[in-house]
Amino acid sequence: DAGVIQSPRHEVTEMGQEVTLRCKPISGHNSLFWYRQTMMRGLELLIYFNNNVPIDDSGMPEDRFSAKMPNASFSTLKIQPSEPRDSAVYFCASSESDTQYFGPGTRLTVL
Amino acid sequence: GQQLNQSPQSMFIQEGEDVSMNCTSSSIFNTWLWYKQDPGEGPVLLIALYKAGELTSNGRLTAQFGITRKDSFLNISASIPSDVGIYFCAGLDNTNAGKSTFGDGTTLTVKP
């Protein structure tokens, strides 16, 4: 199994640009989670889906952030417009029960 | 919402020493999980605990699920340089589609 796949691994963009992060969960997993990790705030849950339906998006910081899961094998996290304070590592994780399997993360730098 | 208090925040130890870290919560959890994050990677599950009082080992790692179901600890014996990383506890109450509440992590540094 390839595990959770995230792309891109690194993204450098300028303030105001749109950023789209992508995630392919492990096949058969029915829950998908998006996290943001920074030194200051640690690991924060942004949103999670169950059976492709968003269950809790209370962690999404602002309306600039949106996430979709059009099918069981793909999810996106979009930031529009991006700001320097959005710089962080964004992780996607999937699960079928209690254990979450994390992807390698996308390191986002907004200049 | 639910919160986990994980301590210590960081540890600097000598190779060969034992390590102990813990998590406490004001809420009851039905499952406790311990993850390790290597530098530049995502967290990976180390140990899962499913019953109050359960003590589980995985090599040099030992974890326990507290009797009150509000706490858990992780011990690492005879630390080695590759134990470096961030250790996260996570609690699951089985009511939120697999959502775990994560602690803030313990950053471990092992000096050779």
pLDDT one-digit tens code per residue, A5-55: 999 999 999 999 999 999 999 999 999 999 999 988 889 999 999 999 999
Mean pLDDT of chain A: 95
Q: φ and ψ at B10, to 5 degrees?
A: -150, 155
Q: From the centroid of its chain, how far is CA B69?
A: 14
**Does pLDDT of A76 surpass 90?**
yes
Average pLDDT, stretch A84-98?
95
Q: What is the pLDDT of residues B19-46, one digit of tens each?
A: 999 999 998 999 999 999 999 999 999 9
B45 CB neighbours in chain A (<8 A) are 99-101
Q: Are B47 and B33 in contact (CB under 8 A)?
A: yes
Please tell me the predicted confidence (pLDDT) of residue B97.
62
> What letter would DSSP give residue A25?
P
B52: contact with A, CB 8 A cutoff = no
Q: Are B35 and B43 in contact (CB under 8 A)?
A: yes
Average pLDDT, stretch A92-106?
94
Instruction: Give the other-Cβ count within 10 Å of B27's Cβ.
Output: 13
DSSP class per residue in B5-52: EEE-SEEEEETT--EEEEEEESS--SEEEEEEE-TTS--EEEEEE-ST
Q: Which residues contact A111 (CB under 8 A, 6 or more apart)?
A: A12, A13, A14, A15, A84
Interface test with B, best of A56, A99, A107 (most B CBs within 10 A): A99
pLDDT class of A1 with cuts at 50, 70, 90: low
